[in-house]
A and B are shown apart, each in its own frame.
Chain A
């Protein structure tokens, strides 16, 4: 900021006060807004710790703290099973997707072959296709393949998305050419370059994408809802949505289920928030 000269000082004292107060007001405004933003999540966690008759009480914090709602969720339903399903499905998708996308990203960035630009353009254009738009034909297709009510049906269609390929390609383009050439001189084949040079280099972005993919698939609802009705294949999101239909008035149980489902995502966020934010930033800076 420019130091105010003596003249502006005497002429506009009110502006000077505003300049001093401004940052404080701005801070207070931001703080209030931030607190209001997290308020619903805090309310959800508090409601999960309240007995049923307190769910709609005016106070935010429970008057009688209780873990009974959580006990109920785990005893009244095979909730462990649902969580295991979600972990398995989201984990498998994440690992396979990272593997496939890093291979494709590497080839599109570092290898020369006819049709490279065209293939990249086609892959990139699928970026604009979102699941709700193609869900009807996709469901019919997957049903014809006999994958309804199976882990394969839950996992395989969710692996492929252009976003990961694009992000990894951008990363591999920036890797210095010398590293690749040195590896070729050492007699390394292309798979060797990918596996021993590129993959280790891209560990940070792979970590970021892993968090991103895991969160997205842990949180996925519409596809598991469409492709499964077998309870043993339910994921957590379906489970809490069905609680909602089953115990529509017992909001304390529903909030406990929601808190359990939200907890892993919140933990992942707090641990990996830097990586997560980086991957979002990169996606905006094509």
Chain B
């Protein structure tokens, strides 16, 4: 990107506004490049470069002091036979498969609820959103105490209703779902806001017309609300999918609550990569796995775009 900037400032810009005088348009372009430069440079160095770097780093063995040694495909071969990597892929798959629909349903459900006219609706919206402003570290610590075996608040609550408690963070069959529950609790308010703004964009007349035609609430929802929410839905699916695969929320929760355990049942790819890099100093191997993850991310994004025919852009 920097090369691009330099080349463009020296050649006269090809625009249709030549009649205004080259000097002025050149000045405008120069000013624009200077305005963009700090951000462009920063994004190039701290986002684009690591991205490209991650693709090549996988072919090296990197020691803790920054020495590189070319090892060819060794890291990728190791990836194929590493059972822990394979398990982490499976865990990630289950995590994404549950999280994305769960966020869609809870976000849309809450938005429909607080889009109704009722007293204190503003307060309710804030209450649903408030978990999202607290840090994930605090969220993880709080839930960890509440989910403690036997005496934790959640198990006490179960006891109160005559139910038997569970080992929420100790049973390998349950722990991933506990993490998923906490993630949904943390994120649902955010998606509620996004769906709410989508709902408020739908013209009132559509609903009035539907009512006059005698459409029930279900027909109104499936024939008017859902189709008109397509752009919003696409945005929500894209953002939740990318952040689920990349473990944007999961990392903090897992680092504090489970460390990938018990029995690696919550070891998402993103956490396994982090462990390999920063606990075992296997930077090259970690980068190889990360580049595989990037590939998956590109693939799911592409599929989502293809399946929805560009989603939101379909309408505009």
A positions within 8 Å CB-CB of B: 1-2, 23, 26-27, 29-31, 33-35, 37-38, 40-41, 43-44, 47, 55-56, 58, 100-101, 103-104, 106-108, 111-116, 118-119, 122-123, 126, 128-141, 143-144, 156-157, 159-160, 162, 165, 189-191, 194, 215, 218-219, 221-222, 225-226, 237, 240-241, 244, 251, 254-255, 258, 261-262, 265-266, 268-269, 273, 276-277, 280-281, 283-286
Residue among A131, A136, A283 with the highest chain B CB neighbour number at 10 A: A136
24 residue pairs bridging A and B, Cβ less than 8 Å apart: A29-B113, A30-B116, A41-B131, A47-B145, A103-B39, A104-B35, A107-B31, A113-B8, A113-B29, A130-B243, A133-B270, A134-B290, A140-B283, A190-B27, A190-B31, A194-B35, A237-B135, A244-B256, A255-B145, A261-B137, A266-B130, A266-B133, A284-B232, A286-B235
How many of B's residues come within 8 Å of A, CB to CB? Answer: 104
Tell me if B73 counts as interface (CB < 8 A to partner A). Answer: no
> Is B248 part of the binding interface, using a Cβ–Cβ cutoff of 8 Å?
yes
Contact status B297-A133, CB under 8 Å: yes
CB pair A31–B124 under 8 Å, yes or no, is: yes
A214 to chain B, nearest CB (A): 11
Docked Cα-Cα span, A252 to B27, in Å, equals 62
Cβ contacts under 8 Å, A194 to chain B: 35
- The answer to whether B48 touches A137, judged by C-beta atoms less than 8 angstroms apart, is no
Residues of B contacting A266 in the complex (Cβ-Cβ under 8 angstroms): 130, 133-134
Q: Is the CB of A34 within 8 A of B137?
A: no
Chain B interface, >50% SS class: helix
Closest to B313 in A: A286
Assess whether A129 is in contact with B277, with CB atoms less than 8 Å apart: no
**Residues of A contacting B35 with CB < 8 Å?**
103-104, 106-107, 111, 190, 194
Q: For B251, list chain A residues within 8 Å (CB).
A: 132, 222
Instruction: Determine the chain A residues whose CB is within 8 A of the CB of B235 once the complex forms.
Output: 284, 286
Report the stretch among B81-89, B172-180, B192-200 that lies at the interface: B192-200
Task: Give min CB distance, B220 to chain A, whole Å.
Answer: 12
Minimum C-beta distance from A286 to chain B (A): 7
Assuming the contacts A43-B146, A284-B197, asked whether A104 and B39 have C-beta atoms less than 8 A apart, the reply is yes
Quick check: B48 and A126 within 8 Å, CB to CB?
A: yes
The A-B contact count (CB < 8 A) is 280
Specify which chain A residues have a CB less than 8 angstroms from the CB of B303 in the assembled complex: none
Q: Is the CB of B145 within 8 A of A254?
A: yes
Q: What residues of chain A lie closer than 8 Å to B278, measured between beta carbons?
A: 139, 226
Q: What is the chain B residue whose CB lies nearest that of A280? A: B193
Known pairs A44-B142, A103-B38; A281 contacts B193 (CB<8 A): yes
Quick check: is B166 within 8 A (CB to CB) of the other chain?
A: no
From A55, A132, A273, name the one whose CB has the most chain B CB atoms within 10 angstroms: A132
How far does the alpha carbon of A190 sit from the alpha carbon of B134 in the complex, in Å? 40
Query: Given the interface contacts A43-B142, A284-B194, does A136 sit within 8 Å of B246 by beta carbon?
Result: no
CA distance A222 to B278 in the complex (A): 12
Q: How far is the CB of A133 from chain B (nearest CB, A)?
A: 5
Is there contact, CB below 8 Å, between B137 and A237?
A: yes
Let me know if A40 and B185 touch, CB within 8 A: yes
Grouping DSSP codes into helix (H, G, I), strand (E, B) and loop, the A interface class, with mixed when no group exceeds half, is helix
Quick check: B113 and A140 within 8 Å, CB to CB?
no
Q: B28 near A190 (CB under 8 angstroms)? A: yes
Chain B residues with Cβ under 8 A from A134's Cβ? 47, 50-51, 54, 290
| A112, B123: Cα distance in complex, Å | 45
With most chain A CB atoms within 10 A of its CB, the pick from B120, B133, B143, B301 is B133
Partner of A132, one of B57, B120, B246, B301: B246
Is A269 within 8 A of B133, CB to CB? yes
Instruction: Say yes or no for B212: interface residue by CB 8 A criterion.
Output: yes
Residues of B within 8 A of A277 (CB): 129, 193
In the assembly, what is the distance between CA of A50 and CA of B76, in Å?
52
CA distance A162 to B190 in the complex (A): 19
B219 close to chain A: CB less than 8 A: no
When A38-B130, A44-B142, A262-B138 are in contact, do A104 and B242 touch as well, CB less than 8 Å?
no
Provide the residues of chain A in CB contact with B128, threshold 8 Å. Answer: 33-34, 37
- A133 near B142: Cβ-Cβ < 8 Å: no
